[in-house]
Structure 1
């Protein structure tokens, strides 16, 4: 059905790599027991061994200790555990103030808002025109009641990469825990948690051609955190719920398959797409930082046109992209990210995100650029917003 379809929405989810699927299959049909201790039955013991081997590999990608990583159902659960777990652990011991940036993904923003309804104080930090948080501004908002700061490593819409070292040092100097959502940077951008002062980090498999429904949370040794979800005693009693063995295996394989050469190829295609569109399509504006951005992300606003219309017309031509237009999303609000970097509603409504993946080709990028130029020109001719 989608044989000749060009998928350019890899920030939402990536196509599963066949090699990942092949690695997962035995743990659906051959080794399907729940993990048990060494005194349990042999299939359960083998399941435990492969789970711990997966944990060791993923932790190694972060330069973290194996004991500091727990598997979750994905990035949403990981961020919920981080924010709610720390909030519950430190509420009576230190304070009830949390800081997040205004452009975080909903897994962090909505969790912060839920805590706010429970009586926590939340500061939503402004960002600059590129989506960057100023470390000095962060420092100015930390109070004696501040228990946690959560700032993403890179933004889900515009791809801007934060300076985690500077932000983490501010938190460290003030005795405040620091969480980062690294969903869009894990294996794509260097993230050495032995060197970067981060206490908690969210990662996921679904953005690196791994399976959906599996993620992980790094919890630095000694970090105070309360178990958020009631149930069993899985993941060293830090997360309740049946372990996803096939998912953990697939996550591991996906992480192993990402190479620096692949990231360089994505970056080259990304720059080519940006250069072509900004050169060939008048009144198009790049959103986010031109250099400090993930290798797979391009986000461009097209003036006088709704992003929803561009998306639908590109889809009819065989290209999948996403938009910050309110009409296209499940929310009635335009992109909070574009608004957060100083854009108005028109800029948010006209934004289109192109995100690349392993299976994206240079030929597809050129074809997409050709299609964008035609679609935008045609839509501007009939646009009620005005035209050139």
Structure 2
């Protein structure tokens, strides 16, 4: 039913960003109705204890979470989580509010089951997100993804990240430093180890300064990094005592696409099915390099329970999706967890922990 609605109505009459805003209005309505999100969560959340993942000192009811970018301003994370995600990552949030890039800035590539976006971190800023997260209720895992404000010079990037960290770390179950979006000029340069080391050190110190507990810290990297640079980031994460790496963000690559060339030539980050192969390659390389010393969250091209299974077998601790939700519909996370539970029961493994043992910090 959703596929029919999506292909015949939504995709024909609503551009990608308009459809997203309509979805967010519906989700905000659900979140505003007392008890609605909790009721949905009881109906749709993962219930098989064999799917539980213990990582980052937290308990995740299922391995599939929602990647950053869907709820940039922390306005609907409870409603999103209620549809069956094991966790929700809000953001990317920047130190200052900003409108993002000029429209149009998002396109569906239907034949490729993909999306191109150059949103440019459009968000209301870290102070607004912190005010909303301050009121959050317990019951679900919420990560916070932070990035650089566009107008802030690269030389002052660390201070901008620190501002967001000081505001948001007290309300985050885990914190992610995003240095890998292709839509903020100069941002990806921060992935170079000589820039990344002082940035991550400053964020770690700021988080420890404003919280009594140790908030887990991860870094999100691009799929377009050379293999040697992937190794260097893994080594740096181990050196600095980071908790994990999220791999990967969107790609600037356009190889092998079947969609209209007028769409594929748009600049921005490509997400969805075309990212699957490279995201898996980066995951395997990181796990080989880091062993079981880092939590690895795999993102990019997740569409089915088989994709989740493959990532877990390759060394992922958790996985995230975004474009899969767009093409799969609101019950997509529930379907993934249901099918994953069935596959697990038909395998030689008793729990997901048996399938992909990794760094485990029990709650």
Q: TM-score, normalised by structure 1?
A: 0.27
* Greater helix fraction, Structure 1 or Structure 2: 2
Q: Which entry has the higher C-alpha Rg, 1 or 2?
A: 1
